[in-house]
Structure 1
Amino acid sequence: MKFLFVGTNPENTGAATHFIALAQAMVEAGHQVSAVVYPNGLIANHLASSGVRLYPAKFRNIFDLRGYFATFKAARDLKPDWLVGNFGKEYWPLILISRLLSVPVALFRHRTPAMGKLSGYLVPRLAQRFFAVSSHARQVYLDRGVPPQLVRVLYNPVNMAWCRPDAQQRSDILHKLGMPQDAIVIGYFGRIHHSKGIFTLLEALDGAMGQEPRLHCMWLGHGPDSQLLGERIEAGSFAHRHHMLGWIDDVHPYYSAISMLAFPSIAPETFGRVSVEAQAAGAPVLGSNIGGVPETLSPNVTGLLLQPGNVAAWRNAILRMCDPEVREPMSVAARDFVDRHFSTRVVADEFVRILSDG
């Protein structure tokens, strides 16, 4: 198949990461992929060496005529089998171009907050395929009245090669951060915001670190509560065992350095890409039983599902995972689980199957 992806969002978001991974997955599967992208933005830079033909363009909003022109020209010249869009500001331009050129359009929705009333009603009905990125998100759209047959589910693809375990990488990162080589490292990768359950995790870690002297925590990310989190860590008894690394453009090497991942959100998540990537690197996941998180792991096989906000449950689960007899079988199972359900190969095949299903 021939695809034209359109994603002119310059920011680093989950939708941008999905856009990159899905475009690369389709290239790996042997399809011809081109993309309309923000010049020198995150998406453009990641796709530059992926065999994707890039067309620079900007959509400041749905009324940006320059974006329409660039996208229309690329679609007219390429004559793709499908247009693919990931970002709300491009839904209506793509639907219009789809009609003008008689090219079907597939649109992904990565957020569960409602679109405007008109868009919420029309977009799923006018796109030839409308995708949610989890069954949880799909149900939210159905609850708002979208007919079930109009909302398909396609999970985020994960490149297994990028996330493979690397013992040398782990050793180098631990050395760089001043951690002992036998450290048990729990990782938090994400936005530093109270809705992500970071303070539940911190309180649980205080209890767990008091019982397990090898336990360290690696915090990757930034957000409005970064300063408060840092202050609370410094006020605690185990500040030297917390490592706040801030924002890191490429987190993939750091998955190799963690023994487990914490995903402690107290607000519903649409999906949870970090959970899947961590498991691809052989790191079991402690995840909140909320939103789309349960779909990202196999409970008691590749990780544990826990009650959001329950400090005691999180402390006990962390300590349980410190036991190698519990953690190591989950580590082995985790990578196989991701390969079977979320690898680029599996998701690319499923995408084509859904697009071909009349």
Structure 2
Amino acid sequence: MRFLFVGTHPENTGAATHFVALAQALVESGHDVDAILRPDTLIWQGLAYSGVRCRPGFFRNALDPRGYATVRRQIAEARPDWIVGNFGKEYWPLVLIGRALGIPVALFRHRTPPMKRLSALLLPRLASRFFAVSQHARQAYLDRGIPAQRVQVLYNPVNASLFRPDADAGAAMRASLGIPDDAIVLGYVGRMHTGKGVFPLLEAASAAMRREPRLYCLWVGDGPDAARLQALAAADTGVGSRHRFAGWNNHTADYFRSLSMLAFPSIATETFGRVSIEAQACGVPVLASDIGGVPETLADGESGRLLPPGDVAAWCEAILALCNDATRQHMGSTAREFVLQHFATHVIAREFVVQLQPAAAGQASAGLDRLGATSG
């Protein structure tokens, strides 16, 4: 199949990572993929040498005529079977172009509503396929009255060749951070703000560290509460020296490899939880809040544990339980296999193509003939 991906938003988020991973997965599966991207963004950098044909372009807003012109020119050149969009600013332009030309459009929504109410009501009905990235997110649309058949689920893919166990790389990262190679390392990777549950995690981690002298805590990320979090950790004279703050880095694989376990402690609802599957792909078990779409990212009791959000005592005991070497190593091996079965790029690419198959035959060719007539 031939795909045109449109992702001109400059954001550096899970939606951008999803866009890159899915486009790469389709190329690796033998499909043709063109992409209209804003240059010098994370998406452009991620796809520049992937086999995806990248073209510059962007939408300043949903009515930007230059954005429409760029998409139409690329459609005329690439003749795609499907147009794929990931970002809210481009939903309406892609739906309007697709319907005008008879080319099916697949839209991904990485957040639960709210969109503007009219968009939330109409876009799932007007797009040929409207994908939520978790069952939790899908339910939010059904609760708004969207017919069940109009919202499908396709999970975030993870590149299991990039995110994989590598003991040497993990040891090198620990050494660079001043963490002993025989330490047990609890990690947090993501934004640092109250809704992410970082303050209850700090309390639970420090309590566990006082009982387990081998335990260290590595914080990878930034955010509005990062400075306060770091100050609180440093003020704990008992274990403060075993907290490490690495700041943010777009290349997280080696950080995951340095961990013994990952904490995903959100107290605000999460749509999904990409860091959970990335960590598990690296053979790292996950302790995660039982909230929103997070439970869909792990096998509770097998590749990790689901815990009550914000319950410091429960989190402390779970951290200490994973300080047991045999328990942790078994869960880590299970975690890798769980991701390979459910979230690997080739698995998600295959499922994506399967979910597109019922599209009406001939829609794209009819639209492209009309485009050729108008642009000739």
TM-score bracket, normalised by the shorter chain, equals over 0.9
Which residue is equivalent to 1:352?
353
User: What amino acid maps onto 1:226 in structure 2?
Assistant: A
In the TM superposition, residue 352 of structure 1 has moved relative to its aligned partner by 0.3
3-state SS in 2 of match to 1:15: helix
Query: In the alignment, is residue 39 of structure 1 matched against residue 74 of structure 2?
Result: no
Q: Distance in 1 between matches of 2:158 and 2:40?
A: 23
Question: How far is the alpha carbon of 1:113 from its aligned partner?
Answer: 2.9
Q: Is the 8 A contact 2:113 2:120 kept in 1?
A: no
* Partner Cα separation in structure 1 for residue 59 and residue 185 of structure 2: 42
How far apart are 1:77 and its partner, in Å? 1.5
Q: Distance in 2 between matches of 1:173 and 1:16?
A: 26
Counterpart code for 1:94: L
> Which whole-Å deviations, capped at 9, do the CAs of 1:142-162 have from their partners, x for residues lacking one?
001110000000000011111
Match of 1:67 in 2: 67
CA distance in 2 between partners of 1:205 and 1:115 (Å):
36
- Asked if 2 retains the 8 angstrom alpha-carbon contact of 1:10 and 1:41, the reply is yes
Aligned to 1:314: 315
8 Å Cα contact 2:6/2:35 also seen in 1: yes
In 2, Cα distance between equivalents of 1:196 and 1:190: 8
1:319-352: CA deviations, max 9, x gaps?
0000012111101111000000000011000000
* Matching residue of 2:114: 114
Larger CA deviation: 94-103 vs 142-151: 94-103
- Aligned-pair identity in percent equals 58
Moved more, 99-108 or 264-273: 99-108
After TM superposition, give the deviation of residue 313 of structure 1 in Å. 0.2
The whole-number CA distance in structure 1 between the counterparts of 2:121 and 2:163 is 38
Deviation at 1:64, TM superposition (A): 1.4
Q: CA deviation at 1:299?
A: 0.4
For 1:51, the aligned partner's letter is G
Tell whether 2:306 aligns with 1:305. yes
User: Which ranges of 4 or more aligned residues in structure 1 deviate by more than 2 Å?
Assistant: none
| 1:100 CA displacement | 2.3
Structure 2's unaligned 5+ residue stretches are: 360-376
Aligned residues: 358
What whole-Å deviation, never above 9, does each CA across 1:288-314 have from its counterpart, x for those lacking one?
Answer: 000000000000000000000000000
CA distance in 2, matches of 1:251, 1:105: 32
Give the C-alpha shift of residue 59 in structure 1. Answer: 1.1
How far apart, CA to CA, are the structure 2 residues paired with 1:79 and 1:103? 9
| In 1: Cα distance, 2:192 partner to 2:61 partner | 28
* Paired residues of 1:36 and 1:56 also in contact (CA < 8 A): yes
The answer to whether residue 195 in structure 2 is matched with residue 195 in structure 1 is: yes
1:153-180: CA deviation from partner (whole Å, max 9, x where unpaired): 0000011111111111011111111111
Separation in 1, partners of 2:77, 2:129: 23
Partner SS for 2:229: helix
Q: Which residue of the partner structure matches residue 126 of structure 1? A: 126
1:119 and 1:167 map into 2 onto residues whose CA distance is 47
Name the counterpart of 1:329. Answer: 330
- Post-superposition Cα deviations, 1:113-147, rounded to whole Å, max 9, x if no partner, equal 31112111110000000000000000011001110
Determine if contact 1:35/1:53 at 8 Å carries over to the other structure: yes
Deviations 1:218-238 (A, max 9, x none): 111111101111111111132
- Corresponding residue for 1:230? 230
Is the CA contact (8 Å cut-off) linking 1:190 and 1:220 kept in structure 2? yes
1:253 Cα deviation from its structure 2 partner: 1.5
Q: Which residue of 2 aligns with 1:244?
A: 245
Asked if residue 154 in structure 1 is aligned to residue 159 in structure 2, the reply is: no
Counterpart of 1:79 in structure 2 is 79
Q: What SS is found at the alignment partner of 1:186?
A: strand
* Letter aligned with residue 136 of structure 1: H
Aligned counterpart, 1:262: 263
Alignment of 1:143-182 (within 5 A): 143-182=143-182
Q: Unaligned stretches of 5+ in structure 1?
A: none
- Is the contact made by 1:157 and 1:344 (CA closer than 8 Å) also made in structure 2? yes
SS of structure 1 residue aligned to 2:83: strand
Q: Which moved more, 1:235-244 or 1:14-23?
A: 235-244
Residue 365 of structure 2: aligned partner: none
The two structures have a TM-score, normalised by structure 1, of 0.99
Kept in 1: contact 2:201–2:315 (CA 8 A): yes
3-state SS in 1 of match to 2:178: coil
Aligned to 1:286: 287
Q: Assess if the C-alpha contact under 8 Å between 1:76 and 1:101 holds in 2.
A: no
Whichever of the two has the greater Rg, that structure is: 2
Deviation string 1:33-65 (CA, Å, 9 cap, x unpaired) is 010001111100110000000110111210111
RMSD: 0.8
Question: One-letter code of the match for 2:146?
Answer: V
